[in-house]
Amino acid sequence: HNRMAAGGGIKSVIVLGASGGFGTLFSQVLAKDGIVVRGISRKGTPRADATFTDYLSADPCNPNEEVLERVRGASVIVSCVPPGPCIRALEALAPHMSKGAMFTDVLSVKSGICDAYISLKDKFPHVELVSTHPMFAPAAGWKGMNTAVITIRGGEISSEFTRLIESWGSQTIAMGSGQEHDTVTAAVQNATHSALISFGLCLGKIGYNAEMAARIATPPHKALIGIINRMANINEPDTYWDIQTDNPNSEEVWAKLEEAVGEVHAAVKARDREKFCEIISDFKPLLEKGKLEGHEPPAY
C-alpha cells in the first residue's frame, strides 16, 4: 500500500453512486474547497448541476483498471449506493486503497453497514472506516443541518473529513454504534415520517380543501402542511421508503403508532377528558431535555 503523505490531508475524493442527489452535493462542496472529486457510477452521465473533476461510467463492485487507478490515489471514498453494493464495493476496492485512506457511506440505516465494517476491519487494517448519515435530503444542502458520524476505525483523514463537513455548515454528532443510531432514528425519522405520511393520506380521505384551509389555517396546521408539502416537492420518496423498510425498529414503531392513535381515539370516544388532557400534558416531561432552539412554534 502506498502510504499517503503524512498530514497531506484530503487531496482527492471518489464518490460512488455519483449520479444521485448526495453524489451531486458532494461534488459541489468538495470542488468549491479545491479538492479533486472524481465520480464513479454505473449511470453514464452526472447530473447537470454536478461539479466533478472527472466522471467514470463503471461498476465499483467489479472494478476495472481505470477505477483502481483512481482508488490508489484517493484520500477518501464516499459511497452513495445502497447497502449491498456499498459492502461489495468496499471489499473490491479496499485492497487497492492507500494506507490511511478512508471509506465512508451516507446510508440512512446503520446497524447492517456498521456490522459489515466491524467484520471487515481486520481484513483491511490500513483503511479508516466511518459511517456518516447526513440528516437531511440532499436538496436541502449542509448549512444548519445535522450529520451523525459513527467511527469504526478513525484516524487523521476521518478527523479531517469531519472538520470538512463542519466547514460546510453542518453540525456533526458522534454516535457509538449502528444500533444506537437506528434506535434514535426510529423516533427521529421512522415515527416522524409515519405520522406525517399518514396525516397527508388522511387529508385526502376526508376531502381536504387546500384553498379554504389555507385561508383559515392555525399555526400547527400550517407547520404540518409545510412539512408534507416539502416532502412531496423535494421529490425523493425513496429516502423515506428506505428508512421505513430498512430500519430494524420500523415494525415496532408502526405498532406503537397504531396503538397511540387507538388510545387517543378511545379517550375521545369515551368522552374521557382527563385521559385526553393527560396524554398531551405527558409530552412535557418527555420533551423537556431536548429543547430544539428556535423551534418553539405557537401552541395554538
Outline where 94-152 has alpha helix (H): 111-120
Note the pLDDT of residue 291: 72
Outline where the chain has alpha helix (H): 21-32, 65-72, 83-93, 111-120, 156-167, 178-185, 192-205, 210-216, 219-233, 237-246, 250-269, 273-281, 283-287
Note the pLDDT of residue 182: 98
Note the pLDDT of residue 298: 55
Give the span between the Cα atoms of 196 and 194, in whole angstroms.
Answer: 6
For 138, the 3-state DSSP assignment is helix
Give the span between the Cα atoms of 193 and 244, in whole angstroms.
Answer: 9
42-58 residue pLDDT tens: 988 999 999 999 999 99
Note the pLDDT of residue 237: 85
Nearest to 174 by CA among 21, 100, 33, 165: 165
Global pTM value? 0.90
Cα distance from N-terminal residue to C-terminal residue, the chain: 62
Residue with cell 447492517: 112
Q: How many CA atoms lie within 13 A of 65 on its CB side?
A: 0
Question: Residue 89's Cα: distance from chain center in Å?
Answer: 19
Whole-Å CA distances, 64 to 40, 67, 101, 131, 289: 11, 5, 20, 25, 52
Note the pLDDT of residue 238: 84
> Which residues, in sequence order, are bridge partners of residue 128?
102
Note the pLDDT of residue 165: 97
Question: Residue 189's Cα: distance from chain center in Å?
Answer: 10
163-184 residue pLDDT tens: 999 999 999 999 999 999 999 9
Note the pLDDT of residue 294: 55
Note the pLDDT of residue 139: 87
Q: How many CB atoms lie within 10 A of CB 221?
A: 12
Give the span between the Cα atoms of 216 and 152, in whole angstroms.
Answer: 51
Biggest distance spanned by C-alpha atoms of the chain: 73
> Which residues, in sequence order, are bridge partners of residue 102?
76, 128
Per the CB < 8 A criterion, the answer to whether 131 and 105 are in contact is yes
Give the span between the Cα atoms of 291 and 268, in whole angstroms.
Answer: 29
With a cut of 70, list the residues of the chain below it in pLDDT.
1-8, 292-300
Q: How many CB atoms lie within 10 A of CB 10?
A: 21
Per the CB < 8 A criterion, the answer to whether 74 and 9 are in contact is no
Structure-derived torsion over alpha carbons of residues 84, 198, 173, 226, reported in degrees to the nearest 10: 120
Note the pLDDT of residue 8: 46
Note the pLDDT of residue 210: 97
> Which residues, in sequence order, are bridge partners of residue 103?
77, 129
> Which residues, in sequence order, are bridge partners of residue 37?
13
